Amino acid sequence: MTPPLFLVDELPAGDVLELGGDEGRHAARVKRITVGEAVLISDGRGAVLDCTVSAVHDRGLVLAVAQRREVAAARPRLVVVQALPKGERAELAVEVLTELGADEIVPWAASRSIVQWLGPRGERALHKWRRTGREASKQSRRAWLPEIAALASTADVAARLAGATGLVLHEGAADPLTTVSLPPDREVVVVVGPEGGISPDELDDFAAVGARAVRLGEPVLRTSTAGAAALAVLSARLDRWT
């Protein structure tokens, strides 16, 4: 079984690490990690320490560092523009997108989005997305935390698609995602619409900057699962899962 992963802001230079704070208390009190167990420590930016627990106390763990290594960032980057889902489906979308390897998740205020991020509510929602991404990274043992961007407008999304391999998920598209060209030197930006679908004006805006409408298959998926299905296809095609 893969050792559990814990995240810290900065990795220490020495061969001994004390894991304290929320991460340390969670490791000691909730996960009940014991002396001799292996754990992974990462800064979320590709650096990883392979450690063994040498002591446990109420505040956390004392770890002996066995190995330092760097995990290279995957190329090309996979970016998912996620229209705001309703309720708990928002956290589900962020969770599965993180587990399936999204390098960046961009919340999008689409014209047909029912949910709106206004004022403090928007700040709380963005904080929840980022917290969900962090926890999903730990669960999936990711050395790179996904970037959770600020809320984007349709104009922001169009600007992001320009110069990228832009793929807009749409059930009426003629081209399947399984066959579109994926240049290795350009980040892939996948746009996932809201429950009410992407509007014709939005489709026109995205097509104007070179994005292509693509389909996944016959079933019409929910906004909270369509992005994950697209990432699975792209991960296999880009050899991320080999």
pLDDT in tens, the chain (242 residues): 789 999 999 998 889 999 999 999 999 888 999 999 999 999 999 999 999 999 999 889 999 999 999 999 999 999 999 999 988 899 999 999 999 999 999 999 999 999 999 999 999 999 999 999 999 999 999 999 999 999 999 999 999 999 899 999 998 899 999 999 999 889 999 999 999 899 999 999 999 999 999 999 888 889 999 999 999 999 999 999 88
The domains located in the chain, with CATH, are: 5-70 (2.40.240.20), 78-237 (3.40.1280.10)
Report in angstroms the alpha-carbon separations of 90 from 93, 121, 235: 5, 14, 22
Query: How much helix, strand and coil, in percent to the nearest 5, is found in the chain?
Result: 30, 25, 40
What's the Cα-to-Cα distance from 114 to each of 88, 150, 168, 206, rounded to whole Å? 14, 18, 19, 21
Question: Are 191 and 166 within 8 A, CB to CB?
Answer: yes
The vertex-54 CA angle with 52 and 58, nearest 5°, equals 115
Q: How far apart are CA 101 and CA 32, in angstroms?
A: 28
Q: Which of 56, 54, 39 minimizes the C-alpha distance to 5?
A: 39
Place of tokens 């980022």: 130
User: pTM higher than 0.85 for the full model?
Assistant: yes
Give me 135's structure tokens: 């926890």
Integer CA distances (angstroms), 208 to 155, 192, 202, 211, 236, in order: 12, 17, 10, 7, 29
